């Protein structure tokens, strides 16, 4: 099938490369000419495991191309995916300007019938708006479908190739058949992985899924705070509740607050949607408020130990990305931490295996970028762990202790066993692991 994917970011690039891998002829379009030139040279602008190989191979074999020429891509393709960003507006609603701009451009370029599939995360009713935007500029027949994306950064290719489910919102059998054929290679593992519904339900499914996951995180962060106040261990409580099949073990890890480009903006957008529809959004508002508080937890724990005046103190930070296996720092809890430490007068020495470039755009030369985790820890009064990178899980703790000026580890991801750390002479402060 001939496909165009408009927007070559985390979602568009992964979707385009995976569709090419299964034999389709794909053009990935972006308005960022620099990004497209890099991609044409097989330089991947983001870090995503396995993506470079996939792009290189499919580009070499001629199934994957990159272009800034949206009209040409629309003329060649029968199915066009929209995968541009939908960042939050000031009021929390999703900014649809990129999606609707692209819809207009597609409409103006259409020289025959097309299926337009929206993959961006968009409020309920956007498929109608996309359809109206296209119809207002062309008399060619257009079918618009919704196909929200559920991939996780850091495991995006695996998620796309072996999805838990593919959600399709359609209003015609033709759209359903085309998308079923496209996704068949990825949904062969059995089970009911291809779920077809109306467009509005598909649009809402994406927000409901992210809001549910964000709720689990805020809930567990609150349970962790209770553990600290009452002298319980969240590690044990998690095992105790996760064994209940109705709850399940996944996504029950407390931490420094959720970040990334999706959960924060999607919870906000759902709150906004609920308010517009005159539906109470109090559960979601509480999830958001709890997360905003949680993003201060690592700074609070550091200040409690080192004092509010951090002048003359050196703080090491391991991990800047909002989670492991990505270079993405959007809404990362590392940002309020580092900014708070700097505001308090501390010298901050950071390390991240992949996010240094993203970090430079935020912190400039206000922090010291260490080449490895141990250099970051050198001479520090505290080590704060923000991201659960594998490389931080089993460090040489004797070496670490010697390098730190004070053996204080504020373990925002509960990577280490508190009792073991104490026996090695560390002051270990976890999240919800005994009195805080
Ligand atoms: P991104 O910012 O990484 O990429 C978006 C791309 O769209 C950019 O390269 C930008 O230059 C391009 N673009 C914007 N306007 C354009 C236009 N008019 N023409 C051509 N290109 C244009 O965004 P992303 O993280 O890939 O997210 C895209 C959408 O998918 C969002 O709605 C997001 O919520 C959703 N989503 C993201 C993830 C994720 O993990 N990142 C997962 C699921 C869903």
| Domains, the chain, ordered by start | 2-197 (3.40.50.720), 206-293 (1.10.1040.10), 295-429 (3.40.50.720)
pLDDT at residue number 436: 61
pLDDT at 221 over 90: yes
Residue 353 pLDDT class (50, 70, 90 cuts): very high
pLDDT at residue number 379: 98
Ligand 1 nearest atom to the CA of residue 265, by list position: 34
pLDDT at residue number 342: 98
CA dihedral (193, 106, 69, 181) in degrees, to 10, reads 20
Q: Which of 32, 39, 31, 38 is nearest to 13 (CA)?
A: 39
Pairing state between β 25-29 and 2-6: parallel
Percentage of residues in the chain having pLDDT higher than 70: 99
Residue nearest atom 44 of ligand 1, based on CA coordinates: 149
How close is the Cα of 400 to the center of ligand 1, in Å? 40
Residue 150 pLDDT class (50, 70, 90 cuts): very high
Pairing state between β 79-82 and 64-67: unpaired
CA atoms within 13 A on the CB side of 87: 5
Ligand 1 nearest atom to the CA of residue 153, by list position: 40
Contact 54, 16 (CB under 8 A): no
CB atoms under 10 Å from CB of 298, counted, come to 28
The predicted-structure confidence for 166-179, as pLDDT tens digits, reads as follows 999 999 999 999 99
pLDDT at residue number 54: 98
b/e per residue, 216-241, with b = 16+ CB within 10 A? bbbbbbbbbbebbeeebbbbebbeee
Residue nearest atom 41 of ligand 1, based on CA coordinates: 10
What is this structure's pTM?
0.95
How close is the Cα of 278 to the center of ligand 1, in Å? 29
Instruction: State the DSSP code for 89.
Output: P
Q: Which of 153, 191, 178, 177 is nearest to 49 (CA)?
A: 153
Ligand 1 nearest atom to the CA of residue 156, by list position: 40
How close is the Cα of 83 to the center of ligand 1, in Å? 5
Residue nearest atom 4 of ligand 1, based on CA coordinates: 9
pLDDT at 412 over 90: yes
How close is the Cα of 217 to the center of ligand 1, in Å? 24
The predicted-structure confidence for 248-293, as pLDDT tens digits, reads as follows 999 999 999 999 989 999 999 999 999 999 999 999 999 999 999 9
How close is the Cα of 33 to the center of ligand 1, in Å? 15
Ligand 1 nearest atom to the CA of residue 7, by list position: 7
b/e per residue, 54-93, with b = 16+ CB within 10 A? bbeebbeeebbbbbbebeebbebbebbbbbbbbebeeebb
Ligand 1: residue of 85, 122, 158, 160 to mutate (most ligand atoms within 8 A of CB) is 85
Between the alpha carbon of residue 179 and those of residues 24, 146, 233, 411, the distances in Å are 13, 10, 47, 45
pLDDT at residue number 188: 85
Task: Please report which helix (H) or strand (E) contains residue 18, including its range.
Answer: helix 10-21
Which stretches within 151-262 are classed as H helix?
156-161, 173-183, 199-230, 234-242
- The catalytic residue positions are 262
pLDDT at 197 over 80: yes
Q: Which of 265, 257, 263, 328 is nearest to 14 (CA)?
A: 328
Q: Give the list of residues 6+ apart from residue 67 with CB closer than 8 angstroms, or none.
A: 27, 28, 29, 36, 73
Q: Give the list of residues 6+ apart from residue 118 with CB closer than 8 angstroms, or none.
A: 81, 82, 99, 126, 127, 130, 144, 145, 146, 147
**Integer distance in angstroms from the first to the last C-alpha of the chain?**
57
The predicted-structure confidence for 70-89, as pLDDT tens digits, reads as follows 999 999 999 999 999 999 99
Instruction: State the average pLDDT over residues 4-10.
Output: 97
3-state secondary structure of 280: coil
pLDDT at residue number 352: 98
Instruction: State the average pLDDT over residues 388-414.
Output: 98
């Amino acid at each position: 099938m001939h496909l165009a994917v408009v927007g070559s970011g985390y979602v568009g690039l992964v979707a385009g490369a995976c569709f090419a891998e299964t034999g389709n002829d794909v053009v990935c379009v972006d308005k960022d000419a620099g990004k497209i030139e890099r991609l044409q040279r097989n330089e991947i602008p983001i870090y995503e495991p396995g993506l470079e190989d996939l792009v290189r191979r499919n580009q070499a074999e001629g199934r994957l191309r990159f272009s800034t020429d949206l009209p040409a891509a629309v003329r060649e393709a029968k199915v066009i995916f929209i995968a541009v960003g939908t960042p939050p507006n000031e009021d929390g609603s999703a900014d649809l300007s990129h999606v609707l701009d692209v819809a207009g451009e597609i409409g103006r370029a259409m020289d025959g019938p097309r299926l337009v599939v929206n993959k961006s995360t968009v409020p309920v009713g956007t498929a109608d708006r996309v359809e109206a935007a296209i119809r207002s500029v062309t008399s060619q027949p257009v079918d618009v479908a919704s196909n929200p994306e559920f991939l996780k950064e850091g495991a995006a290719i695996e998620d796309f190739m072996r999805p838990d489910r593919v959600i399709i919102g359609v209003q015609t059998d033709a759209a359903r058949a085309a998308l079923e054929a496209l996704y068949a290679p990825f949904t062969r593992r059995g089970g009911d992985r291809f779920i077809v519904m109306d467009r509005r339900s598909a649009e809402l499914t994406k927000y409901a899924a992210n809001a549910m996951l964000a709720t689990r995180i805020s809930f567990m962060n609150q349970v962790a705070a209770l553990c600290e106040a009452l002298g319980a261990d969240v590690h044990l409580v998690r095992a105790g509740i996760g064994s209940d099949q109705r709850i399940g073990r996944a996504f029950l890890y407390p931490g420094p607050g959720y970040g990334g480009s999706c959960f924060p903006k999607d919870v906000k957008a759902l709150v906004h949607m609920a308010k517009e529809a005159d539906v109470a959004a109090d559960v979601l508002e509480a999830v958001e408020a709890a997360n905003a508080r949680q993003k201060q937890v690592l700074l609070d724990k550091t200040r409690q130990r080192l004092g509010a005046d951090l002048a003359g103190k050196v703080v090491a930070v391991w991990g800047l990305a909002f989670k492991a296996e990505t270079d993405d720092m959007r809404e990362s809890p590392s940002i309020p931490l580092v900014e708070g430490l700097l505001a308090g007068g501390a010298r901050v020495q950071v390390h991240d295996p992949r996010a240094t470039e993203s970090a430079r755009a935020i912190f400039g030369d206000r922090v010291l970028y260490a080449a490895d985790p141990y250099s970051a820890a050198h001479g520090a009064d505290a080590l704060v762990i923000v991201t659960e990178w594998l490389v931080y899980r089993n460090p040489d703790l004797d070496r670490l202790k010697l390098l730190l000026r004070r053996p204080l580890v504020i373990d925002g991801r509960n990577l280490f066993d508190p009792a073991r750390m104490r026996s090695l002479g560390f002051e270990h402060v976890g999240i919800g692991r005994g009195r805080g």
